[in-house]
Amino acid sequence: MPASAKRKAAVCLLILGWLIPLPASAGAYSALVEYAELGLQGEEYLLSAEIRYRLSPKAIDALKNGVPLFWAVNIRVKRQRDFWPDETIVEKSLRFRIQYQALLNVYRVRNEDSGEGGSFSSLASALDALSTIRYVPVAAKSELAAGERYTAGLRVVFDRELLPLPLRPFAYLNPQWYLSSDWYSWNLKN
């Protein structure tokens, strides 16, 4: 096969690779929502959740080389309807970042929305802090009508678009960068 034909075939394969949809999560390396609930406290529904972050060797290596990793925790509440598609009542997103600072030898976890965060001496303790969400306001009691049926859902999305530009193509093609979770859904009692 001539060299130009080989190049054309390689370009076609590369384009096909970009067009094939990739899975949102990849088994061993992903976020996993272990538990989530919306509890009514006073006049607000508050979110509590436990998420396990399972980083791949590639993600850990990038983190140790100073690359910050970002996740969005997406929450939604839908009103169930019998003959129409469910109606989305609430959509909210919480953004988190973890970053290693070699000079101080610490991992920093930060809630990008509130600015709250902390420093940790090990990756395990930083991931533990990132894993726990407690009492985050999601919806007012008045937004959910009594007697209606609602479902709540939560998922964790790894934001590959916030990786440094040279790393992004690899993050889209390598399954070790599929660090998102599937939707975790439950019926909401109001």
Asked if 53 and 69 count as a contact pair (C-beta separation under 8 A), the reply is no
Q: What are 128-184's pLDDT values in tens digits?
A: 999 999 999 999 999 998 889 999 999 999 999 999 999 999 999 999 999 999 999
CATH domain 25-188 topology = Immunoglobulin-like (2.60.40)
Those residues whose C-beta lies under 8 Å from the C-beta of residue 42, and which sit 6 or more positions away, are 141
Those residues whose C-beta lies under 8 Å from the C-beta of residue 65, and which sit 6 or more positions away, are 100
CA dihedral sign, ordered 56, 127, 107, 91: positive
The answer to pTM > 0.85 is: no
Q: What is the mean pLDDT of the chain?
A: 87
Distance of CA 135 to the CA centre of its chain: 18
* DSSP per-residue letters across 95-151: EEEEEEETTTTEEEEEETTT--EEEESSHHHHHHHHHEEEEEEEEEGGGS-TT--EE
Distance of CA 127 to the CA centre of its chain: 13
Q: How far apart are CA 171 and CA 69, in angstroms?
A: 12
Asked if 183 and 153 count as a contact pair (C-beta separation under 8 A), the reply is yes
**Is residue 44 predicted with pLDDT exceeding 90?**
yes
Overall average pLDDT of the 10-20 stretch: 43
